[in-house]
Structure formats: structure tokens, C-alpha cells
Amino acid sequence: MSEDLRRSTPTQDQQPGGRRAVPEPLVEVRNLDVDFRTGGGSVHAVRGANLTIYPGQSVAIVGESGSGKSTTAHAIIGLLPGSGRVTGGSITFGGRELVGLRRRELERLRGSEIGLVPQDPMSNLNPVWRIGFQVKEALTANHLDVTREQRQRLEDGLVAESSPRDDDELFLGSASKPALLTDIRGALEDSGVSGTSLDEQMKRWDETLDVGSVTRSEVRRRLLAAKISGAEQIALGHVTGSTVNDRVAGLLTEAGLPDSARRARQYPHEFSGGMRQRALIAIGLAGRPKLLIADEITSALDVTVQRRILDHLEGLTRQLGTTVLLITHDLGLAAERAEHLVVMYKGRVVESGPALDILQHPEHPYTKRLVASAPSLVSQRIQSTKHAAVRTGTPASGVGAPGVGAAQGTAELADHRPLIEVSHLTRRFDIRGSKEPLLAVDDVSFEVRRGTTLALVGESGSGKSTVANMVLRLLEPTKGSILFDGRDALALRKAELLHFRRRVQPVFQNPYGSLDPQYSIYRALVEPMRIHHVGNRASREKRARELLDMVQLPASTLRRYPNELSGGQRQRIAIARALALDPEVIVCDEAVSALDVLVQSQILTLLNDLQAEFGLTYLFITHDLAVVRQIADEVVVMQHGRIVEHSSTDEVFAHPQQAYTRELIEAIPGGSLHIGGAGAPTEPSGTAS
Amino acid sequence: MSEPSMSPTVLPGQERYVDTAHEEIAAIDSVDDSAPPTSMWRDAWQSLRKNPLFIVSAVLIVLILVVALFPDLFTHEDPKYCVLTNAQTGPGPGHWFGFDQQGCDVFARVIHGARASVTVGVVTTLIVMLLGGVIGAFAGFYGGWLDAVLARITDIFFAVPLVLGAIVLLNTFKTSETVWKVILALALFGWTQQARITRGAVLEARNSEFITASTALGASGRYNLLRHALPNALAPIIVNATVSLGTFIVAEATLSYLGIGLPPSIVSWGGDISSAQVLLRVRPQVLFFPAGALAVTVLSFILLGDAVREALDPTSRKR
């Protein structure tokens, strides 16, 4: 393995001898092995993993679920779940060996040296405690509550220091902030500032001097920078320490929660997903750790929220000098946020190196496959196998470049007649305890042409799934009409509705929930035929085999049960079941959102092939614009129940008309990166800071 | 290979590395054909038959059932043939447990008492499963006003303690001399727990996506209830039934002990415990044997319930 390392290290020779000394790595993981003990022996979760992180860097581990990326990160912080054990190799942190450390010593390390922001913001905050209390817990656990600060001040007093040290732990308190502002105002007035200029400057000071967040040295530095007379005395006199509550508010402010003192008194259920994640970031950074492990922190969030949180985290950690280890399944996100990438597959590090270099010249077969199918990096509609296979490593044509296929697609579009016509669709929900009803869908109109794909895009709460359920006739609209093949779908009687159901089929988001766990795959596939009394036993079984073949699963799958299949396989079964009755329309409600990138692209390709073969019409509901580009002909963007933009896919990506659409496109992780290596005008030197 | 684009700031340990030793990658998302297919019930059976708790309780229950069905295999003594001269005699050949105050053979009475207890337990549980199951399933699946009405009715019955309700009822109708009276009294006040559990399980299943998918396929509500919701609710129903079987046997014994359960003409453990009470100080073993048999029977069913719960618990079954 060390030979491999040496093989690709000619860069060191390029460095002239006069360069400054190489810094000490903060984290070094060498030949790490982690096993999980299960009923039937042990499972090797991580095998011979190597990882080096330098102070101040951001490094990302990329891999699919089960690749060992989270296990590696959890091994560093000593939080392996259940029966997980480090069985070999070493992990050093700041030169200190972590493997074999006792629980108490690890506890001392956690929070203050290594922080963790966990994945799921919904379950990682205790619902019975206020947010502020939970942040305070993090401070107390690391002895950073007020007693420690007082002790620090006493120590400082003993040493008789007159000027604050750079790393001092004295924060601005809420009690002394008014006096501080008064003094600043006085100093500004003395230097001749007055009128609106004075008010504006004071407003800025008020907003930027966050209680419990800025330290004495920071205040001094800022005052000096603003050339305020007597800066030293003002900072020394008024920044004399904060209460714990001030610190809590300060930490929440840092994490990007406005009005934090009030927010700290709220409970987790009063927070949105993004706000909870910010609270978790505040907790993770409370102990001012040297290393912050961010484990899929934005996977559960909307793209725009994801972008805002990652931007904020990036700025904050840079300001604090925190080293960041990002764990993610999203190659685009990793390449955008980290300078060094580690790609893991089946417990092994298969490739590592500078982020852009890996993206442009992937060498391991797995990385190549990953780069080829990352939705954020693929900028074209998947071409069906009937015409051409998915091209791997196609040079990104950029957002604005109109492809040849796209032009054809638009020309073809005009020939298709609308199969579904939705007009003025509205759905109100009465909310308990509120007089104001919720307008989940508000006056939505669109058409889906036969044989094409219309993508309904929006963030959570945009009403896109409600529209899907109404089109499926699973939910009655409050107002509006749905025409299916020229007939009013809302007026269908029982027998006609049964016929309608045969022609319009759904595929749902959750591959673990949409198949009855008690039904074998055979039973699940013949169920639609049984309900509609199609065929006899023999012909049904033949059809089930055909269906499995269509979704590229072996016939042996018939006898299996859903719990034996992976998420992607279940989703293929769900697609097969939807196809059982030869429908014309398939409504895909977030059908690929829960899947790993590679599986996701596989399913998208499958859907495309099926469309080309059977002339299917898709209504594709998704929150992910990157996926839209791969599958849709037309896009409807929804926000707060209304349509904000409706256009062809190429048009939406090339010339987004609305600010919201632009925001969504920009939020696609890695969307701005150019890959493929075919003369992409990138600056590799821009990676290292 | 990749050196031209390398940035000059790469630090030691972070150079480009490719794992050339492990280049083989599996086909994306291939089906694992190595293991034989298993359904949830087969999986449950696989884990159940390795569970010592299950083996012990199953062996005991089989034994108890055999005793209840064919008591003559174990004793030829007539439990109702009592000779007062034998009263309180200690164990002897052919009479392993000795005699009680009336001069009846204790062993024979313990063997013959099993049938009453097991009958009451099993039949009551079956009635309760049916009654509570139907009420719970309707309430959980259809919801709305039907749920509200059924839930209130359940709550009213739930508020009456099982044994208290049965005492009142049995005291009112003292005439009948069969086990059915006790069974009906217990079932009438014992179905609420089963109804609540069924309701919860059906409610959970109803909200799952596979029911929505089935509706979108054109399935009717009744089809969904019978083919999807109930089969998925079966696991908690079975677990609860097994555990409650033991409590019904206890309740029957309690009622018989109080003299209002089974009539003296039917040999039962509860009745024997009651009549042995007076001998507690002089000959405690006369009390011990029926009480021990009762305890072992109830324990077996509760252990079986625990073992079944463990095997069917979805959280312990994951891939």
C-alpha cells in the first residue's frame, strides 16, 4: 500500500527546499479495520482505511450507504454503534493515539477536541428540553460554563495581565453590552461622527457585536480596525465575561439563528429542519473543537436550505479555524466543499486525493462510475438505450449550452397531444386550532403530453405531492378540474374509476414502505392483475416474469420477500408492479430520492428506457433539480402551492425566469463545477487555501 | 497519469492514491441469490426455534395440552372418588401427592384440573381475539365516527376490572353449572386490550404506503383491510393473545377460588386451592400442588408470548 502512495507522489520533488515546513497532521488514520459482530460472525465494515487531515482543512469522505464512511468517522470520535470494534490500525489525533483509549479519556476529547454534527436533525434533539438547555448541556459537559470562565478570569488576574491574550475566553455579556455601545458612541462622537452616519454606524456595531460570541480580543481588534480612540480600554472595560445564557445565545447566533436569545427558549418542535440543524451545529461547535465531523448534515434538508447551511458552516469554521471532516454520499457536494477527497467503497478507501483532481481524472472503476452518474454533474437528459447508452464522462456542456438532443426533444414535444390537463387545481386543508385554512395547492394548471415527462419541482411544503395525489385520484381537490385523455377524471364512477386506475399508476418515494412486507414479490406483482381480474394463474405468472425482466431483475426474485431486497431493488419491483396493467401514465412521487446515487441513476435510466419502449407518460415529482435535468422534458416549479415557473427543461436551466428557480439551480451541489477533463477551464490551484 | 494537474500544495499523506489491488466492483445493486428466500413468518420461525425460552415453554405447553386432553394417560384414579378415611394421608404408592381433606387423590385432581383451566384459557382467548379483533380492526381501519364510538365503548369496558366485572356477572347468574358461563363472563370483560392492540396495529398498517399503492391499483377498502392491514397486524395480535391466555387462566382460578367460578362438580385448580386453604398450616403440600400446576401453566404461556414477541418484533428483524 505504501508503494501505491509513493507511486503517485512526484509532487514533493517539485517543492523547492526553501518552502516552509510541512505542518503536522491533525488526524492520521492508518490501516484502520473496524468489525461489527453479528449473530453469524463478524462483518468487516472498514478495511485498511487511510486518511490524513491537516489543521484548518476540510476533507470529505464520499461513498454510498454501507461503504464505511460514517463508521470511519465514528471510529475517530470513538462512537462506534453497537457491536462495532476497531480491530486493527491506528488513529492519531494531534499526535495522540486514540485506539485503545479508555472511555473517560475519550469523553474528555469529545466536544472540546472533536465535535460531531449528526445526520438527522429530527431525532437528534431531545423534544422535551428547550434548545437553549441542550446547547448549555454541551457547554457544561466541556466545563465551559460560567464557572470555568470565572476561574479563567481569576487566573488571568493572578498572572496580572493587562492586555488580553488572543485565545482568551472572555465573551461579551448581555449586561455590559449597552455600556460598551455607549462608550463606542462617545468615542465616535468625539472623533466628529454625527447625525445619520453615527446612527448607521452604531446600528452596525449593535448588530455585529454578538453577545456571547465575540471575545475581548475580537472586540479590541475590531475597535482598533475601526480606528476608535481608546479601543484598548473600551474592550478591557466592558468585555468582562458572559453568563451561560449569553454564551448559548452567542453560539446560536454563530450557527445562523437570528433572534437567538428568544429562540433558545423554544422547543425543538417549534423549529424547522434547517433551524434544528443549525442548533446541532451550535452544539457541535460549543466546545470549540479542533475537528468537526459533519455526518451527512444536510441530506434531510431542502436544497436551498442545504446550501445556506453549508455556506454558513464553511464561513464559520474558517473563521474559527476549525478543521472539518465532511461525510457525504454526494460527490458534487464533497468536491465543492472539500479540498481533499476520500472515496470509500465496501469498507475500503478506493481512491483519495485533491478534490478537483479526482473529479477530473477518476481512476478507480468505482470512482469513474460515481463521477459518471452523479446527478449534479450530469447536465443532460439520459439518452435511452434504444438510441444510445448513457454516455459516461461526457464533457459537461454547461448550463447554457443547448444540446442536439434537446433541440430534437423540443421539436418532438410539439407533436404530442396532452394526456393530462390540470386546470385551476386547488386544495385546502383545515388545520386544527387555526381558523386560517392551509392552501396546499393554489390554482395550479399544467398539461402533460403523451409520451413525455413533466417534472413537478419544489421544496417540502410546496404542494407538489398533493398535486400528485389529486392526479392519482387519491385525494379530492377543493376546486379545479383534471382531464384525463379528454375526460373529466373527477367525475368518474366506480367502474370507470377502476379503469382509470389501470391507466394511471403511482411509484412512491419510500422503497421500504410501498411493498407489503407479508407479500412475496410474486404476490406483489400479480396483485394488480388479481384486483382487475386479468388473466389466469399461468398467464399471470408469465406476466410477472416479464415484468421482472423489464426492470432487470432475475426471475429468482419472484420467490423473495421485500425485506430481502435493497432499496433500489424494491423500487424496481414497485415500478414493475405499476407496469403490470400496461398503464399509460406513471406518477413518480420522489421515486428516486431515497436511493444512493448510482442506484438512482440506474433507476432513472430504467424509467427512460421504459418510456422509450412503451411510450409512457411520466409525472415526475421531485425536490431535486439535478434529477430533473436527467429525465424531464418539461418542468413546473412550485413554491408555496403555486406555480412559479413552467417551461421546457432546457429553457428552465438555460434561462430561469424567476429568482426562486435560479436559487434552486444554484443550490445544486457541485453544479458550478466543471468536470470530465476535456479542457474544462478550471483552476486547480483554487482548491487549497 | 495525473501529475500535470496536481496542485503544488498537496501535503504528505494526501497525495493521489488509487487502490489498484481492489479494482473489481460489483454490478450496481445486484440481487444476492446466495440465501434461500424467507418470508417474515419463516424468519420468525427460524429465530423462534433457536430460542431456549421458546423450547422450554413449548415443551411445557404441549405437555399441559396432552394432560388436559388425555388425563387418563397419567392417572387411573377418579378425582371425584373420595374416601374420608384417607383424608390428609401423606404420599404413598399410587398416590404420589397424597390425599386432601376430603380424602381425594391430589395427583388425580391436579391432572384432571388441567382440562378446566386450559379450556377456559383457550376458548376465552379465541373469543376475545375474534371480538376484540373485529372491533379493533373496524375502528382502526375506517376511523372517523365509527372509531370514536367504538373507542368510547372499549374505554367503558376497559374501565371495569376483569375480575370485578366477572364477579358481578357470575353472582347475578348463579344457575348454570358449566364452564361456558365463566368463559363468557371473562370474554365480555377481557376483549378490550385485544381491541386496542388490534386498532393500533391496523391503524399503523393503514397509513403505510403499500395500502395507498393498493388503493391506487383499484383495490377496495375491504380488500385492503383483509388482504393487507390485518395480515400485517397479526403479529401483535398473536403476541397479545398468547400472553393474555395466561391471565385468563389466572382469572378463572381466582373466580373458582372465590366460589363463583366453576361449580364444585368440575375439578379445577382454583377450587382445589380454595379447599386446601384450611390445611395451609398442617399440610401445605395439598395447596402447593394445584397452585404449582397453575403457576407453571400461566408461566409457560407468558414465556411463549415473550418468545413470540421477540421473534416477530420488527425492530429486531432488519437487513
Three-state secondary structure of A358-409? HHHCCCCHHHHHHHHHCCCCCCCCCCCCCCCCCCCCCCCCCCCCCCHHHHHH
Positive or negative, the CA dihedral B212, B215, B220, B223 is negative
A84–B contact, CB cutoff 8 A: no
Q: Which of B6, B19, B232 sits opposite A516 (nearest CB)?
A: B232
CA–CA dist A19, A24 (Å, integer): 15
Could A684 and B7 be called an inter-chain contact, meaning their C-beta atoms sit closer than 8 Å?
yes
The pLDDT assigned to A148 comes to 52
Q: In chain A, where does the domain assigned CATH 3.40.50.300 lie?
A: 22-125+278-368, 404-516+583-666
End-to-end Cα distance, chain A: 28
Give the other-Cβ count within 10 Å of A231's Cβ: 20
The more confidently predicted of residues A146 and A375 is A375
Contacts of A121 (CB under 8 A, 6+ apart): A273, A274, A276, A277, A279, A280, A297, A300, A301
Q: Are B280 and B195 in contact (CB under 8 A)?
A: no
Q: How far apart are CA A244 and CA A258, in angstroms?
A: 18
* Sequential DSSP letters for A9-59: -THHHHS-TTSPPPPPPSEEEEEEEEEEEETTEEEEEEEEEEEEE-TT-EE
What is the pLDDT, as a whole number, of residue A544? Answer: 93
Interior/surface letters A54-74, b for 16+ CB within 10 angstroms, e for the rest = bebbbbbbbbbebbbbbbbbb
Buried/exposed code over B22-61 (b: 16+ C-beta within 10 A; e: otherwise) = beebeeebebeeeeeebbbbebbeebbeebeebeebbebb
Partner-chain contact B38 A564, CB within 8 Å? yes
By CB neighbour count within 10 A (0-12 exposed, 13-18 middle, 19+ buried), where does A679 fall?
A: exposed
The fold of B40-314 is MetI-like fold (1.10.3720)
Relative orientation angle of helices B192-206 and B230-257, to the nearest 10 degrees: 170
- Multiple choice CATH, A404-516+583-666, 3.30.300.30, 3.10.20.740, 3.30.565.10, 3.40.50.300: 3.40.50.300
Cβ proximity of B6 and A688 under 8 Å? no
The predicted-structure confidence for A234-285, as pLDDT tens digits, reads as follows 888 888 777 888 889 988 988 888 888 888 998 988 888 888 888 999 998 8
CA distance B311 to chain A (A): 14
pLDDT (tens, 9 = 90+) of chain B, 319 residues, equals 434 444 457 888 888 888 887 777 777 777 766 666 677 778 788 888 888 989 999 999 999 999 999 988 888 778 877 777 777 777 777 777 777 777 788 888 889 989 988 999 999 999 999 999 999 999 999 988 999 999 999 999 999 888 899 988 888 877 766 788 889 999 999 999 999 999 999 998 888 889 998 999 888 889 999 999 998 888 889 889 988 888 999 999 899 888 888 888 888 888 888 888 888 888 888 888 889 999 999 999 989 988 888 887 655 443 3
Quick one: closest CA in A to B233, which residue?
Answer: A518
- Measure CA A487 to chain center: 41
Q: Which of residues 306-365 of A touch B (CB under 8 A)?
A: 340, 345-346, 348-354, 356-358, 360-361, 363-365
What mean pLDDT comes out for the span A24-46? 86
Query: Bridge partners of B95?
Result: B92
What CATH number belongs to A22-125+278-368? 3.40.50.300
SS3 helix, strand, coil % of chain B, rounded to 5?
Answer: 65, 0, 30
The answer to whether the Cβ–Cβ distance between A11 and B232 falls below 8 Å is: no
Using 50, 70 and 90 to split pLDDT, how confident is the model at A39? low
Helices (H), A414-510: 464-471, 494-503
Candidates B25, B45, B310: best to mutate against A (most CBs of A within 10 A) is: B25
Q: Chain A residue closest to B15 (CA)? A: A353
Distance CA B16, CA A359 (A): 12
Q: Which of A22, A67, A499, A519 to mutate to test the interface with B (most CBs of B within 10 A)?
A: A519
User: Strand A340-345 vs strand A348-354: parallel, antiparallel, or unpaired?
Assistant: antiparallel
Do residues A290 and A302 lie in contact, with contact meaning Cβ atoms separated by under 8 Å? no
Sheet order of strands, A96-97 included: A41-53, A27-38, A84-93, A96-97
Which segments of chain B are extended strands (E)?
A: 17-18
SS3 per residue for A240-278: CCCCHHHHHHHHHHHCCCCCHHHHCCCCHHHCCHHHHHH
Cβ-based neighbours of B50, under 8 Å, separated by 6 or more:
none
CB neighbour list of residue A140: distance below 8 Å, 6 or more residues apart: A244
How many residues in chain A? 689
Which chain A positions have a beta carbon within 8 Å of B224's beta carbon? none
Backbone angles phi, psi at A481, to 5 degrees: -135, 155
* Residue type for position A51: L
Edge-first strand order for the sheet with A487-488 is A438-449, A418-429, A479-484, A487-488
pLDDT of the residue at B2: 39
Beta-carbon separation of B28 and A553 below 8 A: no
pTM: 0.76
